[in-house]
Amino acid sequence: MWFIFALISTFGWGLADLFYKKSAPGDDRYSHLKTAIWVGIIMGVVSIGLLPFAESGFSLSSLVTNALRYSPASISYIISMVVGYAGLRYLELSIISPVQNASGAFSTVAMIIYFTAVGRMQRISDEFSALDIIGTVIIVIGVVALAAVEKKLSSEEKAEDRKYKLGALALIFPVLYCVFDTAGTAADGIILDEETGLGLGEIDVIILYGLTFLLAAVICWIFLLIKTKKAYNPFTKSQKTNFFAACCEEFGQIFYVYAMARKPMLAAPIVACYCIVSVILSRIFLKEKLKASQYACVVSVIAGIVILGISEGLAEA
């Protein structure tokens, strides 16, 4: 089921990206904080609702202890996401999403390095069939190539159209996202590993991440209050796009956790492919256009996903 979970997460996060972009007008310098507040609200509500089902107990002491244990992943994710929201003010979705999600490729490499360092390379080689290796390599090449193509195209577009005032400097946002998301995904793969992880169940992780994001949302709300001298009301009609984005984010997050708990090194590159969904949706709803080089990268990634699906089907047979 990890493969199905990974695909569901991929589509959920791809749809979230579309709503994130629609929630990031260029003239609102605090749009990224407003989006973060809504994500924190939705994740916090879900986490509180799941507290009675926590596998490691839900006393205050256990929550604090486990939150600290999971903090390397949750903090990395939150930083990456807020940075990503900020970048959407200056870059098109079809540019920022693929560059950001090269992290899925890098996190797989990081996990392989870690598991090799702790003497578990034999287990890795046992889990990866020939089709797994081929599919993963194709996905990695496709995502990294798409990131490179988008970077090149963005530079060319900036030379012709200076509508984005930061120009090429705006690429620092997806690059920083990539760095922090790589750290978060690699930490997740290590923490959630069923054999040598920290012993946190999937529901525990959803709760801990959600509560941490809720705390971050409170911090963002207080910051906005201090900076603007006005209390931000997230429940106005104008903020409904942030609501939809947050719901899609949490939907994808739930399935992502279950996929990563089972096959972290295979699930990570597949989930990173939600940038493909983002690119396609941006063409349909935001009227952005694909070039031949971009289509080639998209086809490559889809082919890799199909190969992993075939491999999983053969393994289950």
Q: Is the pLDDT of residue 164 over 60?
A: no
Q: Is the pLDDT of residue 170 over 70?
A: no
Q: Which residue has the higher pLDDT, 154 or 176?
A: 176
Alpha-carbon span 303 to 105, nearest angstrom? 16
Interval 5-12 mean pLDDT:
93
- 79-88, 94-103, 139-148: range with lowest mean pLDDT: 94-103
Q: Where are the domains of the chain?
A: 2-316
The pLDDT assigned to 231 comes to 95
pLDDT 10s digits, 43-59:
999 999 999 888 766 67
pLDDT 10s digits, 90-99:
777 877 777 7
The pLDDT assigned to 236 comes to 94
Give the chain as a 3 state SS string: CHHHHHHHHHHHHHHHHHHHHHCCCCCCCCHHHHHHHHHHHHHHHHHHHHHHHCCCCCCHHHHHHHHHHHHHHHHHHHHHHHHHHHHCCCCCHHHHHHHHCCHHHHHHHHHHHHHHHCCCHHHHHHHCCHHHHHHHHHHHHHHHHHHHHHHHHHHHHHHHCCCCCCHHHHHHHHHHHHHHHHHHHHHHHHHCCCCCCCCCCHHHHHHHHHHHHHHHHHHHHHHHHHHHCCCCCCCCHHHHHHHHHHHHHHHHHHHHHHHHHHCHHHHHHHHCCHHHHHHHHHHHHCCCCCCHHHHHHHHHHHHHHHHHHHHHHHHHC
- Say what percent of the chain tops pLDDT 90: 33
The pLDDT assigned to 196 comes to 57
Alpha-carbon span 205 to 214, nearest angstrom? 14
Q: Is the pLDDT of residue 158 over 80?
A: no
pLDDT tier, 297 (very low <50, low <70, confident <90, very high otherwise): confident
pLDDT 10s digits, 244-275:
999 999 999 999 988 888 887 778 778 878 88
Q: Is the pLDDT of residue 278 over 80?
A: yes
The pLDDT assigned to 179 comes to 84
Interval 161-170 mean pLDDT:
51
Q: Is the pLDDT of residue 138 over 50?
A: yes
- Residue 84, CA distances (Å) to 28, 177, 266 in order: 15, 6, 24
